Structure 1
Amino acid sequence: MDTTATALTFRDAVDTDVDALVGLVESAYRGDSSRAGWTTEADILQGQRTDPEGVLEIVKSPDGKVLVAERDGRIVACCQLEHRGDHAYFGMFAVSPTEQGSGLGRTVLTRAERLARETWGATEMHMTVISVREELIAWYERRGYRRTGRMTPFPYGDERFGIPQRDDLQFELLVKELA
């Protein structure tokens, strides 16, 4: 057994984490580094996935938080949680490509669901996923999320969200009841 691995710790993100969070999100979804993991969007979107201004806005939001998971003082995963009445929104989920497939994502998602329930009394977790991301949607379905068929358009022409490589992108709402 490897006893040199350090424990995973969780905390809320702060302003000084923004650059590390942007780097993590970009590495998990865009460019060649993202291909080391299975969550890459490199074949459907190029350009940026997020930017420091957008991440800072989420970190500072009075209605939410960014949960970070650290190992050896390095942020290895993160997610956004936002309180929206009776439900919470889950977004900006990223796991370092070298840690994907290790169970870390499942651990972060479980922690986020528990926090939404305990902190805000949320009865459901909502998220949106690009509808062509079948493998990713299947991963969420195995964790109790259900497809709703409710779609919202992808923001074509707004490069803050990336440069689409196909013309059929849209977001589907996934929902899980938090018992």
Structure 2
Amino acid sequence: MVEAIVLFSKSSSLVPAWTRSDKAWLHSFLMGISMIAVSIGFAVIFYNKDMAGKPHFTTWHGLLGLITLCFCGAQSSGGALIKYYRYVGSYVKIRLADLKLYHATAGLCASLLITVTLLLSLFSTWAVSNIHWLLWYVCAGCVSASALVIMTHITGAYMPSPGQNSGSISGQPGQS
């Protein structure tokens, strides 16, 4: 998911020479694969708890994981609305530029939810008892670093540049 988000950044994209439309296609493909993987993981954990007769969503990690999965599903729907705006734009009463800004803002919120959910997983009984303390800090650092990269990219692409009025965005994503 991280690479799918920073795909539009010239400084950290794996495909900096691709056109914006090709990057948008790859973004939606990578996000779709990510959502499928996360959904399968969620289903496996849910099934495993059912088989063991354990209750569901009793921890902050589990509850926030469910909320995050639902939020990311809604966020993906918003991305699909943007991708197919030319077909549904006449039915939607929101401008495409505004939808893109809302999608980026919701993506920032989704990445925050993902980060907190992943960090909460490191406080589970299993993680605390089975992960060496040094590896625990490495995992926490990697999750935090990924979140900082995403936040820097999104805010850099959509926040107004100095000298611009606060009602406009700083161009299209990826032009920062």
TM-score by length of 1: 0.30
Greater share of residues in strand: 1
TM-score, scaled to structure 2:
0.30
Instruction: Say which structure is richer in helix.
Output: 2
**Between Structure 1 and Structure 2, whose CA radius of gyration is higher?**
2
